[in-house]
A = this chain, B = another copy of it.
Amino acid sequence: VLRSGGYQCHALDIETPSSFLAGEKFQLDDVIEAQQFDLDILNAIFKVAREMEQIEKRSGQSNILKGYLMSTLFYEPSTRTRLSFESAMKRLGGEVLTTENAREFSSAAKGETLEDTIRTVEGYSDIIVMRHFESGAARRAAGTASIPIINAGDGPGQHPTQALLDVYTIEREIGKLDSIKVGLVGDLANGRTVRSLAYLLAKYRDVKIYLVSPDVVKMKDDIKDYLTAKGVEWEESSDLIEVASKCDVVYQTRIQKERFGERIDLYEEARGKYIVDRTVLDVMQKHAVVMHPLPRLDEITVDVDADPRAAYFRQAKNGLYIRMALLKLLLVGW
């Protein structure tokens, strides 16, 4: 949404009573990046997500968004993310216009700007969920559109709904977000999910973060400096077993082959280094969980799946609830 103050959440005086003590003072205009959410709004979104769980489990479908139309404007395919958003919209009674070849709008031959495309698509729908290959594209779209924009990933930039569902999953699985220990494992240099997660966790009290990654894909200094500045305790470790034994959450990630170019040798070395298997599970505490943003290759072995502490498919499902909550909040408010 184009507003003079940008896309952030603005304070509003709302006369009607609300069941959301935390949320009642906020209005959500767009979802562009993880940084736009403060603690109050996170808690408020999570409360709505919990209500969405009840709606989905009780009745399958509600009519909360009946009559609303969502456009999924995907400039690159991401079937998983797209289906999650479209399911969320339909579970709430809304309708969807889908495009996975949005590049055709702005093909080299035709050369339409993103802004012109947004001005056209906003005439056909009530909200746009956008996936783009360029960092900052979602912000540009929100600066043009008169309807809400949700960033479903813009290149190496942001993927804020993934960040929200990760934090929501920790709260659902562990029961709290303060005073937790989280091990971030795998590709910490390139994975935007672990970077966003570290950023959001810094908002909570008494969080300890362990960083476990092959040397070639270590967490970058900007996030480490940010954690330090926010008073978050963190340490790097090369001992996954020891870290796993202490943590509430072991957040594993895929080593991304495409980042290694021709250095297949470095990729092969990195990918085999920290595997979550039964041995890791054996040292983990009973209440702790394994998370993963999916897709996974063999960085979590299949025999882990049956353990109740394997939370990654529940985590994927939480993406549905978070997206239902955001669609509801953006379209009909708290």
Contacts and interface: CB of A to CB of B under 8 A. Distances in A.
Given A90-B95, A98-B98, A105-B79, A61 B71 contact: no
B313 A119 contact: yes
Which interface residue of A68, A87, A95, A105 has the most chain B CB atoms within 10 A?
Answer: A95
Interface stretch (A42-50, A235-243, A277-285, A294-302): A294-302
A290 to B, nearest CB: 14
A111 interface: yes
Interface residues of A, number: 55
B294 A116 contact: yes
Contact of A313 (B84, B91, B120): B120
5 contacts: A61-B67, A71-B83, A77-B101, A86-B124, A87-B125
Given A71-B83, A77-B101, A112-B294, 4 more contacts: A61-B67, A69-B91, A110-B295, A111-B297
Interface of A: 59-61, 66-69, 71, 77-80, 82-84, 86-87, 90-91, 95, 97-102, 104-106, 109-113, 116-117, 119-121, 123-126, 254, 257-258, 294-297, 302, 313, 316-317, 320
